[in-house]
């Protein structure tokens, strides 16, 4: 049996698409210069968040040559840090985010990447992101959290 040349061509194109889709899911944010590495958690008392050694004054902390810890508190309707001032990280760094919420459930999404988690009171979402090239990313809350949900956003600046 002979396969028509056009049929072979479409068969090949279909295979490329399938591999491409799988690649997109597996390495979704590679194009944006961000790779997600792992995902794990912990707990924290939301009632005493303000006295917590890390979440009491959330921000960025250097942990190695190119590695950083970033502590983020989501609350109605801001990310601390991220909303009132951009969260700044150096290009080429590996950043482990620790995200929790002070009041209700929020979302924490780095727009255009697969860095995305729920921010739950009492729980710490932990995930590591590699920031490649300099650039700017939006942050947004993707869990309905009240009247200001639609304006709950922020910014990450990946610095040169
Ligand atoms: Cu916070 Cu929606």
Domain ranges for the chain, please list them. 1-32, 33-159
Contact present, 104 and 121 (Cβ < 8 Å): yes
Note the pLDDT tens digit of each residue in 44-64.
898 899 899 999 999 999 999
ipTM beyond 0.95?
Answer: yes
Position 121 scores a pLDDT of: 93
Would the CB of 109 count as within 6 Å of ligand 1?
no
Q: Stretch 24-45: mean pLDDT, rounded?
A: 61
Position 36 scores a pLDDT of: 47
3-state DSSP assignment of residue 117: strand
**Which residue lies with its CA nearest to atom 1 of ligand 1?**
106
Ligand 1 center from residue 127 Cα (angstroms) = 19
Highest CATH level, class, for 33-159: mainly beta
Would the CB of 145 count as within 6 Å of ligand 1?
yes
Ligand 1 center from residue 64 Cα (angstroms) = 32
Contact present, 136 and 153 (Cβ < 8 Å): no
Would the CB of 141 count as within 6 Å of ligand 1?
yes
| The model's pTM | 0.74
Q: What tokens were used for 122?
A: 């009492």
Note the pLDDT tens digit of each residue in 101-131.
999 999 999 998 889 999 999 999 999 999 9
Among the ranges given (14-18, 93-97, 112-116), the one the predictor scored with the smallest mean pLDDT: 112-116
Which is the closest atom of ligand 1 to the Cα of 105? 1
Position 3 scores a pLDDT of: 82
Q: Provide, rounded to the nearest whole percent, the portion of the chain with pLDDT above 90.
A: 72
């Amino acid at each position: 049996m002979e396969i028509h040349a056009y049929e072979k061509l479409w068969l090949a194109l279909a295979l490329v698409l399938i591999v491409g889709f799988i690649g997109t899911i597996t390495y979704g944010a590679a194009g944006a210069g961000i790779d997600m590495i792992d995902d794990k958690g912990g707990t924290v008392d939301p009632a005493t968040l303000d006295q917590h050694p890390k979440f009491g004054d959330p921000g960025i902390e250097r942990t190695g040559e190119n590695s950083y810890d970033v502590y983020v508190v989501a609350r109605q309707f801001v990310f601390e840090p991220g909303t009132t001032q951009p969260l700044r990280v150096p290009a080429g760094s590996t950043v482990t985010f620790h995200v929790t919420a002070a009041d209700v459930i929020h979302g924490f999404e780095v727009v255009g990447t697969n860095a995305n988690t729920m921010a739950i009171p009492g729980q710490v979402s932990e995930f590591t992101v590699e920031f490649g090239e300099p650039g700017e990313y939006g942050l947004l809350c993707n869990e309905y959290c009240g009247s200001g949900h639609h304006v709950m956003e922020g910014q990450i600046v990946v610095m040169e």
